[in-house]
Structure 1
Amino acid sequence: MPEAIYFLIASVVFFVIFGYFVPVGLWITAQFSDVSISIWELVFMRIRKSPLTDIVNSMITCQKAGVKISLAELETYSLASGDVKELTKALITVKQSNLNITHDELKAAGLAGKNLMSFINERKSDLESGLGDTKRELCRKIFEDLSESQINELSIFVTKL
């Protein structure tokens, strides 16, 4: 009789630990939403203490909106203290607005502490006024003419401002 109780207790402990590390419900949600995430990816994300629900929901939202972004990109952004939900909204806005802003630009702006929607609106207004292309062209011409040491000096000067 005591062996049956030990077995029952061990089974309950196993299922509690299994249920914590293996988010089966989240995996099923992802599968029904046509987002290919393996159960092992979710387990390793749990071990890395990534916000599983935010990342999987963002993957589902991006998939439905036609935005291509990988699970690794979202998890890396999240682990770098980025707001995955805000990034998802920004990615969808960029896609719907047909703006020429890359995922990396958005992630860099978000990690720099900028509000991504404000960043997008600034870029949108720059493009509408024609300043965006002019600014890029001017920066490109300036950097073409500078040597490596001049670029380093310029970056040091700008950081001191």
Structure 2
Amino acid sequence: MIGIIISLAAIITVLALFFSFVPLGLWISALAAGVKLSIGNLVGMRLRRVVPKRIVHPLIKATKAGLGVKVNQLEAHYLAGGNVDRVVDALIAAHRADFKLPFERAAAIDLAGRDVLDAVKMSVNPKVIETPSISAVAKDGIELLTKARVTVRANLDRLIGGSGEATVLARVGEGVVTTVGSAVSHKEVLENPDKISQTVLSKGLDAGTAFEILSIDIADIDIGRNIGAQLQSLQAEADKNIAQAKAEERRGMAVATEQEMRAALVEAQAQIPKAIAEALKEGNLGVMDYYDMENVISDTKMRQSISKSGNSSKKISENNKQKNK
């Protein structure tokens, strides 16, 4: 009795290990879906550390959609770190849209980090990208704030290695700035906004990008600041500051020259007593001549003092007269 129980337990254990290692349910699902897949393939997936359901379910979808995808291709993509389910969905979407997309191309796009399903959808249904407000200044100095809508379609041939939306927006912004900047007047741009679209679109801005630009439409144009007037005002202010600095420099030089002249005068006056003493010593100037000169100087100072006092009296009398009036 005990031997029978042990045998049954052993059989149950072996069966449990067998069914846990061999995904029999997936094999039955694949067989029911018409997918030719042997149990040996499923066991081989286990040995290669591949999750069988990550391969079988996408393979069933691909077979039902009529795609000629092989098990080895799916396994290789899974082992490379790709998303097998997303690649198969992208292939189905491309097949339904009658768009040719080889498995190798879809797998390469997925491994490059791009969303291959989103790329296929964008190839079938173009996407509209709206630019932020682009500031550009016409030749008359008026700023224009422009918004554009760029309709793009994914280019699967350039999706690997091609730049993204940021590059497209930057190039469109550069084209808008160039076009508005070459306009003589801002009124010319407001009258013909389609000129911006035509000029920018003709520059081939989608070169090297993962997109194909279908159209560029101007959504809105607003008038901004008068940049020309502001620049002129700033230039005038700068010129005024320069002129003031130069005038201050000239005034400082004049003050310095005046101080130098006064110092020279004081120095010359200090030499007068010495010169008089030398003249008296050598006999070139007599004592009486010296006294006469002193009298003349004293008389001159007295006359200057009287003249100043007289002017002061006149001013006082005039002020009194004005007060009496």
User: Normalized against structure 2, the TM-score is what?
Assistant: 0.37
Q: Does the aligned pair in 2 maintain the 1:21–1:47 contact within 8 Å?
A: no
Structure 2 unaligned runs (5+)? Answer: 127-151, 159-325
3-state DSSP of counterpart to 2:73: helix
After superposition, the C-alpha distances for 1:140-161 in whole angstroms (9 at most, x for unaligned) are xxxxxxxxxxxxxxxxxxxxxx
| Map of 1:143 onto structure 2 | none
CA distance 1:32–1:130, change in 2 (3 Å): closer
| Map of 1:85 onto structure 2 | 85
CA distance 1:5–1:73, change in 2 (3 Å): same
**Which residues in structure 2 correspond to 1:59-138 (within 5 Å)?**
59-121=59-121, 123=123
| Map of 2:240 onto structure 1 | none
Q: Does the aligned pair in 2 maintain the 1:51–1:78 contact within 8 Å?
A: no
**Which residues in structure 2 correspond to 1:9-24 (within 5 Å)?**
9-24=9-24
Q: Does the aligned pair in 2 maintain the 1:22–1:39 contact within 8 Å?
A: yes
2:50 matches 1:50: yes
Which protein has the bigger helix share? Answer: 1
Displacement of 1:58: 0.9
Counting matched residue pairs gives: 130
RCO higher in 1 or 2 (8 Å CA, sep ≥ 6)?
1
Displacement of 1:51: 2.1
CA distance 1:131–1:58, change in 2 (3 Å): closer
CA distance 1:76–1:65, change in 2 (3 Å): same
Q: Does the aligned pair in 1 maintain the 2:93–2:121 contact within 8 Å?
A: no
Distance 2:78 2:33 in 1: 21
Q: Rg bigger for which structure?
A: 2
After superposition, the C-alpha distances for 1:100-148 in whole angstroms (9 at most, x for unaligned) are 32110100111111101233245556xxx8996xx8xxxxxxxxxxxxx
**Greater Cα shift, 44-53 or 83-92:** 44-53
3-state DSSP of counterpart to 1:60: helix
Distance 2:21 2:122 in 1: 42
Q: Letter of the 1:58 partner, please give it.
A: P
Q: Does the aligned pair in 1 maintain the 2:123–2:153 contact within 8 Å?
A: no
After superposition, the C-alpha distances for 1:86-109 in whole angstroms (9 at most, x for unaligned) are 111101011112223211010011
% identical equivalent positions: 31
After superposition, the C-alpha distances for 1:13-64 in whole angstroms (9 at most, x for unaligned) are 1011110121111111111110000011011112222121231111111111
Q: Letter of the 2:97 partner, please give it.
A: S
User: Normalized against structure 1, the TM-score is what?
Assistant: 0.72
The structure 1 segments of at least 4 consecutive aligned residues displaced by more than 3 Å after TM superposition are 121-125, 129-132
Q: Letter of the 1:79 partner, please give it.
A: L
Distance 1:68 1:54 in 2: 18
**Which residues in structure 2 correspond to 1:20-39 (within 5 Å)?**
20-39=20-39
Q: Does the aligned pair in 1 maintain the 2:122–2:153 contact within 8 Å?
A: no
